[in-house]
């Protein structure tokens, strides 16, 4: 006695989907909708989330949800927002939840158009750093030296040659009121950011690091741990920008080497196998150090 | 009656239909339509959300999203813009989203050109969008008003594209009789779909479907088109009663009753063909024409009614399916195959990129029909009207 009885949270993303065990994205989406509540219409471009959440006849979505195409999530959402405005349904909010392929690559033009128009949409990118529902091909969000099926590591290659596109910065350059990064491993932080974003009108953007056990290659009970290591080593900085200014930063406890994050993942296995790996690891560590410096993650 | 530019007449029709969402991206010769609508919104004459998008791809996506949310939505495009919308239009038809697009006909690159032909809209013929072609500015005005009623009919629920020839119709001035707002409101009730994105009744749209059910979805779209023909006929009949202008049928038969030879055409060239028919009739030729008003769904029954007594048919196709023939010619041949007493049908590719089709060209077509009519024509088809042979060594 004394302890409050367990209260089941009202969920709007429930069972009935087909995500892999331990999918960080499915977890993130459940918490996104806990934060928004049910007065939302969700647009999801083609991608892992769409594929696993909409087998015809089954739906985990307890809010109105639409999938249209791969590259038009932002503009479909603009249409939904315009219709709601025309119908004077001011309390209903619009959400896009799309993967990194649709956000960083194929839908980038539509996203930029939506941001520039300041349409009243919260755009959330659930970012697993590659095209997962087609088997793990490289995207503009794929991190440096990750091995993907279209840019695999091999005798003559260390995998992806470029750094991840800095989308939060590009999005922020549109002058929108709220930009944030979050992680499936920090769910309370994630919910608070979504809640904060919902207090704004106009275009807002949140990018969530969602570990993918299947393609990153780690055991499916390690999702939270892998996500946490990504944040703690500095490769996944968590911050909020309001009105163009960095407002909050999630500090890291102590600097841990990037190896502890990369080593448990199959997509980085080649970095630990041969000689070239140490130089690659040095470059990745430099990226983490740069983040630690730039965002002041440590102090 | 007012003398107005075609684009303005279209904008007036759209305004009177009270769209709630309009999206716009510029491309010639479509621009005057959305510019007129923008001015109406700016002047407070049209109460609509006007979304200035960054591409035609998004223009179509915005009207899709708005339509799925239960709002009446409209956009217009042309040529490359329509091609850029292609993926969106296929998906919107699959999701049964009933918005209206004006497809201002213009040729497709390369070479880049802004002149008229039907290559752009014909490229969308398999997408599930209903296609209505118009001959005059008046017809463009009237047809747009019918278009929303057709699109939003619960039995149909598909996007509709009104196809009008660029420049020839959009930029010419004609006298147009506008309808009164009250009449239009009586004809076209507000858009109240049974299914839409509704927080009180959440549903999932655009789901993933495999071989267990996908084919049934496609069948449903096809059936909506097929069964829709009767609804479209009825709506056009209502439009005739309302306007006092003749919109009976999905096709218009002109002097076909006793015709031995019939020319089939779509769009603004129909006027020229009708005049030629009159000229040739006065010289003793038994000739008529059929104008296809509704191209998708394909109204073969109606065409057959008009052509079944004729001996030979010339189809004017302002488009070409590269490596085969013109789209309308192919459609008709497929339907005529195996029919008893099917007339001889010859496909002519005419008017690509704005190449003029005048009365002389039509006389040439008739002459060609005389020669090909004597031997099997299909070996050399299609016939290209007015091609300049000196450019080919
Ligand atoms: S492939 Fe990855 S992102 Fe997709 S459902 Fe599986 S775990 Fe989730």
pLDDT in tens, B73-87: 999 999 999 999 999
**What is the token pair recorded at A26?**
């499915």
**Mean pLDDT, residues B215-231 taken together:** 98
Interchain contact B48–A (C-beta under 8 A): yes
**Shortest CA distance from A63: residue in chain B:** B202
Q: How far is the CA of B325 from the centre of ligand 1 (A)?
A: 47
pLDDT in tens, B138-186: 999 999 999 999 999 999 999 999 999 999 999 999 999 999 999 999 9
**Mean pLDDT, residues A190-202 taken together:** 98
Q: Which segments of B43-192 does DSSP mark as H helices, in order?
A: 56-68, 79-94, 119-122, 137-152, 181-187
pLDDT at A276: 84
Whether omega before B329 lies within 30 degrees of 0, making that bond cis, reads no
pLDDT in tens, A231-246: 999 999 999 999 999 9
**Residue B381: pLDDT band with limits 50, 70, 90:** confident
**Mean pLDDT, residues B193-208 taken together:** 97
pLDDT at A7: 61
Detail the DSSP E strand segments found in A38-191: 40-43, 65-66, 93-99, 121-127, 153-154, 157-158, 178-183
**Is B377's pLDDT higher than 60?**
no
Interchain contact A82–B (C-beta under 8 A): yes
Going by their DSSP bridges, the two strands B130-133 and B294-296 should be labelled as antiparallel
CA atoms within 13 A on the CB side of A89: 20
**Residue A3: pLDDT band with limits 50, 70, 90:** low
pLDDT in tens, A13-63: 999 899 999 999 999 999 999 999 999 999 999 999 999 999 999 999 999
Q: Does the distance separating the beta carbons of B207 and A67 come in below 8 Å? A: yes
The proportion of chain A whose per-residue pLDDT surpasses 90, expressed as a percent, equals: 94
pLDDT at B374: 62
Q: From the list B23, B88, B203, which residue is nearest A64 (CB)?
A: B203
pLDDT in tens, B242-294: 999 999 889 999 999 999 999 999 999 999 999 999 999 999 999 999 999 99
pLDDT in tens, B100-138: 999 999 999 999 999 999 999 999 999 999 999 999 999
Q: Does the distance separating the beta carbons of B21 and A68 come in below 8 Å? A: no
Q: How far is the CA of A210 from the centre of ligand 1 (A)?
A: 9
Show residues of chain A in contact with B66, CB under 8 Å.
79-80, 82-83, 86
User: What's the distance, Cα to Cα, between the start and end of chain A in Å?
Assistant: 42
User: Looking at per-residue confidence, does A182 or A133 come out higher?
Assistant: A182
Query: In this structure, what DSSP letter does residue B180 have?
Result: P
Q: 3-class DSSP state for residue B70?
A: coil
**Residue A8: pLDDT band with limits 50, 70, 90:** low
CA atoms within 13 A on the CB side of B200: 4
pLDDT in tens, B280-299: 999 999 999 999 999 999 99
pLDDT at B373: 59
Q: Does the distance separating the beta carbons of A76 and B62 come in below 8 Å? A: yes
Interchain contact B23–A (C-beta under 8 A): yes
Q: Does the distance separating the beta carbons of B51 and A117 come in below 8 Å? A: yes
pLDDT at B389: 85
Detail the DSSP E strand segments found in chain A: 40-43, 65-66, 93-99, 121-127, 153-154, 157-158, 178-183, 204-209, 239-242, 245-249
């Amino acid at each position: 006695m004394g302890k409050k009885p367990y209260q089941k949270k009202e969920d709007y993303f429930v069972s009935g989907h087909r995500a892999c065990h331990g999918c960080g994205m499915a977890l993130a989406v459940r918490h996104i909708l806990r934060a928004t509540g049910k007065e939302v219409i969700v647009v999801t471009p083609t991608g892992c989330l769409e594929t696993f959440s909409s087998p015809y006849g089954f739906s985990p979505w307890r809010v109105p949800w639409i999938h249209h195409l791969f590259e038009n999530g932002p503009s479909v959402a603009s249409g939904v927002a315009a219709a709601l405005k025309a119908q004077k349904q001011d309390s209903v909010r619009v959400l896009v939840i799309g993967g990194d392929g649709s956000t960083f690559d194929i839908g980038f033009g539509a996203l930029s158009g939506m941001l520039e128009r300041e349409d009243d949409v919260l755009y959330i990118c659930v970012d697993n750093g590659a095209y997962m529902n087609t088997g793990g091909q490289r995207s503009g969000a794929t991190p440096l030296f990750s091995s993907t099926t279209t840019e695999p590591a091999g005798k003559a290659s260390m995998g992806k040659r470029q750094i991840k596109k800095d989308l939060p910065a590009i999005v922020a350059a549109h002058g929108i009121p709220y930009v944030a990064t979050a992680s499936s491993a920090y769910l309370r932080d994630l919910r608070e950011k979504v809640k904060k974003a919902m207090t704004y009108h106009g275009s807002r953007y949140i990018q969530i690091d969602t570990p993918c056990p299947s393609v990153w290659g780690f055991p499916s009970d390690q999702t939270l741990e892998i996500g946490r290591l990504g944040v703690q080593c500095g490769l996944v900085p968590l911050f909020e920008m309001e009105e163009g200014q960095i407002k909050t930063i999630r500090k890291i406890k102590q600097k841990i080497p990037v190896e502890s994050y990369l080593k448990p993942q199959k997509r980085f296995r080649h970095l630990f196998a041969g000689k070239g790996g140490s130089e690659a690891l040095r470059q990745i560590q430099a990226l983490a150090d740069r983040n630690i410096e730039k965002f002041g993650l440590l102090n | 009656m007012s003398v107005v530019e075609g684009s303005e007449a279209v904008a007036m029709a759209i305004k009177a239909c009270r769209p709630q969402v309009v999206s716009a991206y510029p491309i010639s010769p479509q621009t005057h339509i959305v510019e007129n609508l923008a001015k109406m919104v700016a002047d407070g004459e049209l109460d609509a959300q006007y979304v200035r998008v960054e591409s035609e791809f998004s223009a179509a996506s915005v009207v899709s999203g708005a339509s799925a949310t239960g709002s009446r939505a409209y956009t217009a495009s042309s040529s490359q813009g329509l091609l850029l919308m292609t993926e969106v239009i296929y998906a919107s038809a699959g999701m049964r989203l009933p918005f209206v697009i004006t497809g201002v006909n213009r040729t497709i690159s390369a070479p880049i050109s802004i002149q008229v032909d039907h290559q752009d809209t014909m490229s969308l013929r398999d997408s599930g969008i209903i296609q209505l072609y118009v001959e005059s500015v008046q017809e463009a005005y009237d047809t747009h008003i019918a278009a929303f009623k057709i699109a939003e009919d619960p039995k149909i629920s598909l996007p509709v594209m009104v196809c009008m020839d660029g420049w020839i119709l959009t930029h010419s001035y004609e006298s147009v009789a506008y309808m009164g707002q009250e009449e239009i409101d009586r004809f076209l009730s507000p858009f109240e779909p049974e299914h839409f994105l509704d927080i009180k009744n959440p549903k999932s749209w655009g789901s993933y479907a495999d071989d267990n059910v996908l084919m049934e979805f496609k069948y449903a779209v096809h059936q909506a088109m097929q069964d829709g023909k009767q609804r479209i006929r009825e709506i056009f009949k209502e439009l005739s009663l309302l306007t006092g202008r003749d919109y009976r049928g999905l096709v218009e038969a002109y002097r076909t009753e006793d015709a031995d030879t019939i020319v089939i055409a779509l769009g603004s060239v129909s006027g020229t063909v009708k005049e030629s028919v009159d000229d040739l009739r006065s010289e003793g030729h038994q000739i008529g024409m059929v104008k296809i008003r509704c191209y998708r769904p394909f109204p073969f029954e109606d065409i057959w009614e008009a052509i079944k007594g004729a001996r030979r048919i010339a189809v004017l196709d302002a488009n070409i399916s590269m490596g085969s023939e013109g789209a309308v010619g192919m459609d008709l041949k497929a339907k005529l195959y195996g029919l008893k007493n099917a007339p001889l049908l010859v496909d002519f590719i005419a008017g690509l990129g704005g190449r003029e089709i005048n009365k002389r060209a039509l006389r040439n077509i008739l002459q060609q029909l005389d020669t090909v009519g004597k031997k099997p024509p299909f070996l050399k088809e299609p016939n290209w009207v007015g091609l300049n042979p000196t450019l080919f060594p």
